[in-house]
Amino acid sequence: MQFDQLYQEIILDHYKRPHGRGLRDPFNGSAHQVNPTCGDEIDIRVQLEDGVLADVSYDGAGCSISQASASVLFDLVEGRKVDDAMARFEAFSALVGGRGAAEPDEELLEDGVAFAGVAKYPARVKCALLPWMALKAALVEAAAADGQVVGATDGGTK
Amino acid sequence: MTELLIPSGMPQYADAPRFDVAKVRADFPILDRTINGHPLVYLDSANTSQKPRQVIDALNAHLAEHNANVSRSVHTLGTESTAAYEGARAKVAAFIGAQSADEVVFTKNSTEALNLLAYAFSNATATGGDPRFVLREGDEIVISEMEHHSNIVPWQMLCERTGATLRWFGVTDEGRLDVSNLDELVNERTKLVSIAHMSNTLGTVNSISVIRQRAHQVGALIALDASQSVPHLPVDVTAMDVDFIAFTGHKMLGPTGIGVLWGRSELLHAMPPVLGGGSMIETVTLTKTTYAAPPARFEAGTPPIAEAVALGAAVDYLSALGMDAVQWHEKELTAYALDALCGIEGVRIFGPNVPVGRGGTISFALDGVHPHDVGQILDDLGVEVRVGHHCARPICQRYGVAAMTRASFYIYTTTDEIDAMVRGLEQVKKVFG
């Protein structure tokens, strides 16, 4: 079945049993993102301490792709330095936005490589990127509070 | 099985107007396509309909054999093109029971038709035009909670420009328009009521007469967004006695790029123009222009000529089937589909769950599965449905959901296709169960 490429077991697992879900305190950056075409929503909070993402928490409503992506995002960036998190953001963006041309880096993206199939479904790329766009916006806010600089690169998305 | 007998002398089911669906399907080339290895099951006609060969041929033939600009040439091709364009206008007028072809204004689509009306109000307000189109602070425009964004946003924008207030009818849990506060909602301050004839999301067909009566009683105008009704059921603007209707060609077998604003002749004459340019003038000097009579007044620039001609062919096709038969076909499909969907555990239907006072557009939720995921797996099985908020976010919010899955039927839809969707939904439940 073709949809197996999109709905990898890993994605369905993250959707059904999300990691790190639920909004938590404290936080010094937050963002709300909506996908206007389908109404999917995500709220994200980050707590940035000395350039490290001490916590990333989120809540949202949406399709399996957007919600599983948020769960994977939590695994990938929680406890990481901002630069490291941004590198993963860019790698993930390149993977799902690459029309299937990008080679997934499993060491960097871990479960995120399961989203390689999304690249073949242009209508779903936005779903996968929704939590990541929210993360980026929240990080910019948190960085100001933490005295860091975020977003020196353009994030790799068009 | 016992058979229910209708007493002789009463209308029998066999008497209902019908057409040969297999023969209709043979006219639609796209229905031979496969999607992901499965036969195409197209259940998204409320979004845009498929096109029969007759319409495709009319579009091609006009461009290949009669192409010229309209209303400004003495040559043979210009005359042929003008005759075809105006002939299409006459066909459309007859199709909706208009008293004159001059009451049919061609636009790009329903959205443009409704915006044209909104900007006519705006321009009349700015230039001190006919009082029926002049809006002041305290005046009210009434819409409903079940509108498509195209019948919400133009009125919000108009209210922002003029200081008028936007109000709306609510919707009941059953998906019917809540008219219990009609007399309070539509009052002496109301200048316009603009509501959907048929909801693009719930499928509800709204009873117009009581609202029209109240609107006219208080001196307000009434417009219908007929985008979903004109393609699917007999519409007679004279019998309905409304003031304006808007609809679009691409949902009724026609091409994209052609829509209609129908207005009562006397009202169109009272409206100021919206777009200025060629074709809409009577005489022009460098200091002053006088305007042509409707419909030309509202058709500045070269119109979508071939598209209008093809819409005429679409109207011919629907008329040959008979709109009573089209409506009955979809009523039978809707009864079948409602029954089938109600039989699936976890399905919640938004809108009337009986095939009465509604058309063949059914929105639903599958418990625990997001509509995007439903639509993706159905597509994998060749079943094309719409998912999302259907350009009608307020009604989604009314039912507390961000998105819905919608199946919508037309003349070429069969019960086998509804079965294919139901099998697909069982597959969805397996993947996400």
| Residues A88, A108 contacting (CB under 8 angstroms) | yes
Quote the ipTM score: 0.76
Separation in Å, CA of A39 to nearest CA in chain B? 5
CATH architecture of B15-44+322-432: Alpha-Beta Complex (3.90)
Cis, peptide link before residue B11, omega less than 30° from 0: no
- Please choose, from the candidates B131, B112, B142, B294, the residue with its C-alpha nearest in 3D space to the C-alpha of residue B223: B142
What interhelical angle do B153-162 and B110-127 show, nearest 10?
A: 10
Mutate to test the interface with B, among A1, A2, A3, A13 (most CBs of B within 10 A): A3
- Residues of B designated as active site: 391
- CB–CB contact B372 A124 (8 Å): yes
Cα torsion through B34, B35, B40, B44, rounded to 10: -150
CA atoms within 13 A on the CB side of B205: 20
The tokens for A123 are 């209508």
Mutate to test the interface with B, among A2, A38, A118, A121 (most CBs of B within 10 A): A38
- On the question of pLDDT at A155 being above 80, the answer is no
pLDDT at A148: 67
Query: Of 3.90.1010.10, 3.40.640.10, 3.90.480.10, 3.40.50.1100, which CATH number belongs to A3-145?
Result: 3.90.1010.10
pLDDT at A149: 62
**Which ranges of chain A does DSSP label H, i.e. alpha helix?**
3-6, 9-16, 64-77, 82-97, 106-109, 122-146
Is residue A3 very low, low, confident or very high in pLDDT (cuts 50, 70, 90)? Answer: low
- On the question of pLDDT at A154 being above 50, the answer is no
Q: Residue ranges of chain B with pLDDT lower than 70?
A: 1-3
| Residues B389, B396 contacting (CB under 8 angstroms) | yes
Region A37-58: mean pLDDT is: 89
- Please choose, from the candidates A25, A151, A23, the residue with its C-alpha nearest in 3D space to the C-alpha of residue A90: A151
- On the question of pLDDT at A4 being above 80, the answer is no
Least confident stretch, A36-45, A83-92, B282-291, B350-359? A36-45
Query: How confident is the model over B222-270, as pLDDT tens digits?
Result: 999 999 999 999 999 999 999 999 999 999 999 999 999 999 999 999 9
CATH 3.40.50.1820 fits B56-320, yes or no: no
pLDDT at A107: 83
Query: How confident is the model over B139-181, as pLDDT tens digits?
Result: 999 999 999 999 999 999 999 999 999 999 999 999 999 999 9
Question: How far is it, in rounded angstroms, from Cα B292 to Cα B277?
Answer: 11
Question: How far is it, in rounded angstroms, from Cα B70 to Cα B279?
Answer: 9
- On the question of pLDDT at A152 being above 50, the answer is no
Q: Closest to B393 (Cβ–Cβ): which among A39, A124, A127?
A: A39
| B143 class by beta-carbon count within 10 Å (0-12 exposed, 13-18 middle, 19+ buried) | buried
Residues of chain B with CATH 3.40.640.10: 56-320
Region A63-89: mean pLDDT is: 92
Separation in Å, CA of B416 to nearest CA in chain A? 22
Question: How far is it, in rounded angstroms, from Cα B351 to Cα B364?
Answer: 9
pLDDT at B369: 92
Residues of chain B with CATH 3.90.1150.10: 15-44+322-432
Q: What is the pTM of this model?
A: 0.90
| Residues B408, B251 contacting (CB under 8 angstroms) | no
Separation in Å, CA of A143 to nearest CA in chain B? 32
| B283 class by beta-carbon count within 10 Å (0-12 exposed, 13-18 middle, 19+ buried) | exposed
